[in-house]
Amino acid sequence: MAWSYKILSVFDIDIELHISFLLFILLLLVLNVSFAFLILLVFIYVTLHELSHSYVALKNKINVKSITLLPIGGMSMIDTKDISPYTELKVSIAGPLFNFVMVYILLGLSVLFNWPLNEWLSAFVHGGISSLSVFELFIFYSLYSNLILGSFNLLLPAFPLDGGRIFRALLAYKLDYKRATEVAKNVSIMISIGLFLWALLRFDVWIMLISLFIIFGASAEYQGLLVTDALSRAKLLDIIELKPTVVKESHGLQAVINLMLKKRRTSFITDKMRTVSLRDIYQLRKKDQKTMHVNDVSKPIAPVSSTTDLNRVMETMANQNTAVLPVMHGKKLVGVVYQEDIDKYVRMKELLE
């Protein structure tokens, strides 16, 4: 995700911190140190919650790309293509299950060590939380955050929360996956609108943000499925440009810019199987654009086979941060594929269906 930075890796899964979360924590530290401590604990448990999803996904041979921490929660980038309803149920339940296990462990410890949870709760409700020690805050906030995370995610049947994914998985036992996702999306939007109106009456900004997150998340989930479905039913050879423009590494950049304007393309491949893009050229100073050559800015790129699945092509483009890929049949170049052509194909399929 843009503006996200890797902080560590677990199970070979990159855990990324979005810059908005860092700014949010810094703001809380200025306004309320005690509440900032709660939020930090919440996001530790959010990370463990998301890792629980990811661990079960990996055990079921499902690819997990990354986990991103945002001010409103965590997002696991799990490949749900071709996932069975039963597997999705297991993956979705894993997160809340971790939180409830933590709740029961903490309740058990409170009985064992006779911790005064009722007194801590009273201090929290009546604004006397500052009277608690750091250890007491840690225990109480851990119990509170896990209870809220588990309950909210499990009991609210709205995308992209776990309850929404469980709801979609149950629907998928009777409906096809696309229809199940559409129904779950519509229910999610209705729930989030109701949640937003309720929060508006209470002027609860946090719940309003979460409800908006649900609306956009549910719509993005369904839109992503439509794209995946359209690409899975198409062949790469139907979309590639069979007679691509290939520029020489020795060409001047100004000539390439003119060619881009003529061909209405923002990227080309070169005769050395590298790529040159308008974005990279315009990062140079104007005078350098007139004197430098393609080989000064071109970047290495890995081609794809003519039999590669289009969803895999899109992943390859994202991983290599490119909008064009050479397409090979054996050792022979048969064409190039542009991201904009794939996007056009998907939009046309949506209009025709």
Listing DSSP states for 70-136 in one string gives ETTEEEEEE--TT--HHHHHHHHHHHHHHHHHHHHHHHHHHHHHT--HHHHHHHHHTT-GGGS-HHH
Domains of the chain: 4-232 (no CATH), 236-352 (3.10.580.10)
Residue 34: CA atoms inside 13 Å, Cβ hemisphere, count?
15
Which stretch of DSSP H or E encloses residue 163?
helix 162-171
Higher pLDDT, 67 or 313: 313
In this predicted structure, what is the pLDDT of residue 2? 57
State the average pLDDT over residues 307-330: 87
Helix axis angle, 134-155 to 33-59, nearest 10°: 50
Q: Average per-residue pLDDT in the chain?
A: 83
Q: How confident is the model at residue 173 (pLDDT cuts 50, 70, 90)?
A: very high
pLDDT, tens only, 142-168:
888 899 888 988 888 888 788 989 999
Cβ-contact 168, 180 below 8 angstroms: yes
pLDDT, tens only, 29-81:
666 666 667 777 878 888 888 889 888 988 888 888 787 777 666 777 777 77
Statement: residue 3 has pLDDT above 70: no
- 51-222-216-211 Cα dihedral, nearest 10 degrees: -70
SS3 call for 192 = helix
Q: Which of 202, 195, 123 is nearest to 156 (CA)?
A: 195
Higher pLDDT, 159 or 288: 159
Q: How far apart are CA 47 and CA 211, in angstroms?
A: 21
CA distances from 196 to 41, 181, 206, 229, 284 (A): 26, 22, 10, 31, 46
**Which stretch of 47-56, 84-93, 284-293, 328-337 has the lowest confidence by average pLDDT?**
284-293
In this predicted structure, what is the pLDDT of residue 168? 92
Q: Which of 235, 274, 225, 228 is nearest to 251 (CA)?
A: 274
- DSSP annotation of 293 reads B
Q: How far apart are CA 136 and CA 156, in angstroms?
A: 30
Statement: residue 10 has pLDDT above 80: no
Q: How far apart are CA 169 and CA 83, in angstroms?
A: 10
Cβ-contact 214, 207 below 8 angstroms: no
Q: How far apart are CA 346 and CA 272, in angstroms?
A: 30
In this predicted structure, what is the pLDDT of residue 278? 86
Longest dimension (CA), the chain: 78
In this predicted structure, what is the pLDDT of residue 35? 67
pLDDT, tens only, 226-284:
888 888 888 888 888 888 888 898 888 888 888 888 888 888 989 888 998 888 888 87
Cβ-based neighbours of 10, under 8 Å, separated by 6 or more: 51
Listing DSSP states for 201-261 in one string gives HHT-HHHHHHHHHHHHHHHHHHHHHHHHHHHHTS-GGGTSBSS--EE-TTSBHHHHHHHHH
State the average pLDDT over residues 169-189: 91
Prior bond of 160 cis (ω within 30°): yes
Q: How far apart are CA 37 and CA 16, in angstroms?
A: 20
Which stretch of DSSP H or E encloses residue 329?
strand 324-329
SS3 call for 148 = helix
Q: How far apart are CA 53 and CA 130, in angstroms?
A: 34
